[in-house]
């Protein structure tokens, strides 16, 4: 079943589309940037945002439990800054709730739209206007295409991880939306009309607060919408840090698969909500590497059983689905992925699966429950991207 869902999402999402029609620009936009010890890059982020933002866009940095001068550097760069200190309630969700509450009480009232941007990310030109206009027009959250900046000089495992993110955040998210479901909120480059964020459950320690928020809003009848002409990028992490980053993301997703996939799917069936049904099905699909690894091992097992005299039909069906899934992933690479993953590195994907085995093994032993900041390349003094 996971392979079938994966194939359907990819089939529906491989080809680009319009990404929505722009409506009127909101009167007031606030960009909310949660930042924990981001002194080395926060000024560059604020400056880059100012260069693409419409006039009178409010930039609010939440310096959350910082032990460096993040707040001072953000102010110097021209952002409004509020500081939060709470060593018990830690995590991005608490920082977002703190910023939301500040916006609610500011003079002149809250903004029409709030855009969340991570402290290491860059919005493409025109993305802020597209996200906010369509969010206000539809009354639902909107999401920019969130990818890691292409770098064919990065280590092979980092390239493959970047390509996997392309498959998930572009092709599968677009496919799910076209099938009538919700796009995925990815935590950065996402816009929420004030009425959607005002009472959202943000103050949680979830390590995948974006996914949890998307599920909550979809259940309430406001499925997120992917805006194809809006883009947000972040620099790739080093290989060791990429493994830690993947561990946090994938442990959070696997926890949602275990605890939320069936409830979301069953409630969708009861209410006959296509968006909830498709979201529940999406949550049943493990991360791409794990899905392909388990499917391959299962194929070997059913082939052996067929050789020993069992029914051969399961091996035939699974073999066809596995071949289709591999072909669709290769097609995704041909369409968009060559900028992220070189042909030479493509051949190392089996090694990538082995590289991630410790992530999945550690989930069985002790799932990661706490948020952690992923180090950036510019933390070591290299150029910020």
Least confident segment among 21-30, 52-61, 121-130, 372-381: 372-381
Cα separation values, 109 from 30, 34, 112, 203, Å: 12, 21, 9, 21
| pLDDT (mean) for 163-170 | 94
User: What are the pLDDT digits (tens) for 40-74?
Assistant: 999 999 999 999 998 889 999 999 999 999 999 99
pLDDT more than 70, % of the chain: 87
Lowest-confidence pick of 75-84, 213-222, 329-338: 213-222
The Cα diameter of the chain in Å comes to: 75
* In contact, 376 and 40? CB cutoff 8 Å: yes
pLDDT interval class at 245 (50, 70, 90): low
pLDDT band at 17 (very low <50, low <70, confident <90, very high): confident
Helix (H, G, I), strand (E, B) or coil at 192: strand
Q: Are strands 190-193 and 113-116 parallel, antiparallel or unpaired?
A: antiparallel
In angstroms, rounded to a whole number, what is the distance separating the alpha carbons of residues 59 and 194? 16
| 130: CB partners within 8 A, 6+ apart | 19, 20, 22, 142, 227, 229, 230
Tens digits of residue pLDDT in 283-302? 889 888 888 888 999 999 99
% of the chain surpassing 90 pLDDT: 64
pLDDT exceeds 80 at position 367: no
Task: Indicate whether 378 pLDDT > 60.
Answer: no
Q: Which residues of 157-175 are buried (b: 16+ CB within 10 A; e: fewer)?
A: bbbbbbbbbbbbbbbbbbb
User: Above 90 in pLDDT, residue 339?
Assistant: yes
pLDDT above 90: residue 127: yes
- At 243 the pLDDT is 60
- All structural domains of the chain: 27-239 (3.90.550.10), 285-365 (no CATH)
Q: Which residue has the higher pLDDT, 249 or 385?
A: 249
Q: pLDDT band at residue 376, thresholds of 50, 70 and 90?
A: low
CA–CA gap between residue 309 and residue 329 (Å, rounded): 33
Q: Which residue has the higher pLDDT, 68 or 360?
A: 68
Contact 230, 22 (CB under 8 A): no
Residue 114, classed as helix, strand or coil, is strand
Q: With bands split at pLDDT 50, 70 and 90, how would you rate the model's confidence at 380?
A: very low
Q: Reply yes or no on whether the pLDDT at 39 is more than 90.
A: yes
Average pLDDT over the chain, rounded to whole? 87
Stretch 146-154: mean pLDDT, rounded?
93
Nearest to 20 by CA among 252, 191, 162: 191
Residues 128 and 54 sit within 8 Å (Cβ to Cβ): yes
| 9-23, 30-44, 84-98, 189-203: range with lowest mean pLDDT | 9-23
Span 95-105, mean pLDDT? 96
């Amino acid at each position: 079943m996971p392979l079938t869902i994966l194939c359907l999402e990819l089939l529906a999402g491989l080809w680009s589309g319009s990404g929505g029609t722009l409506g009127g620009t909101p009167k007031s936009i606030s960009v909310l940037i949660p930042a924990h010890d981001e002194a080395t890059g926060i000024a560059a982020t604020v400056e880059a945002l100012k260069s693409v933002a419409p006039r009178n866009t409010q930039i609010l940095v939440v310096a959350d439990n910082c032990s460096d001068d993040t707040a001072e550097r953000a102010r110097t760069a021209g952002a409004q800054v509020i500081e939060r200190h709470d060593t018990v309630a830690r995590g991005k969700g608490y920082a977002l709730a703190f910023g939301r509450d500040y916006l609610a009480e500011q003079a002149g009232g809250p903004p029409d739209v709030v855009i969340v941007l991570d402290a290491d990310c860059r919005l493409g030109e025109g993305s802020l206007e597209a996200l906010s206009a369509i969010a206000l027009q539809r009354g639902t959250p909107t999401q920019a295409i969130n990818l890691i900046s292409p770098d064919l000089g990065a280590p092979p495992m980092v390239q493959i991880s970047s390509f996997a993110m392309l498959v998930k955040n572009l092709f599968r998210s677009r496919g799910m939306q076209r099938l009538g479901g919700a796009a995925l909120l990815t935590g950065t480059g996402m816009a929420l009309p004030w009425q959607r964020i005002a009472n959202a459950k943000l103050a949680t320690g979830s390590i995948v607060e974006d996914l949890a928020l998307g599920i909550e809003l979809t259940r309430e009848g406001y499925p997120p919408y992917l805006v194809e002409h809006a883009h947000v990028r972040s620099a790739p992490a080093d290989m060791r840090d990429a493994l830690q980053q993947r561990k946090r993301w994938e442990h959070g997703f696997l926890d949602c698969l275990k605890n939320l996939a069936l409830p979301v799917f069953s409630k969708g069936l009861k209410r006959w909500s296509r968006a909830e049904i498709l979201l529940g099905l999406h949550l049943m699909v493990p991360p791409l590497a794990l899905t392909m690894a388990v499917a391959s091992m299962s194929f070997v097992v059913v082939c052996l059983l067929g050789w020993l005299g069992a029914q051969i039909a399961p091996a035939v069906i699974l073999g066809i689905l596995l071949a289709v899934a591999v072909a669709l992933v290769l097609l995704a690479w041909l369409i968009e992925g060559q900028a992220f993953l070189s042909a030479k590195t493509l051949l190392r994907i089996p090694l990538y699966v082995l590289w991630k085995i410790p992530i999945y093994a550690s989930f069985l032993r002790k799932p990661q429950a706490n948020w952690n900041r992923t180090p950036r390349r510019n933390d070591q003094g290299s150029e910020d991207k």
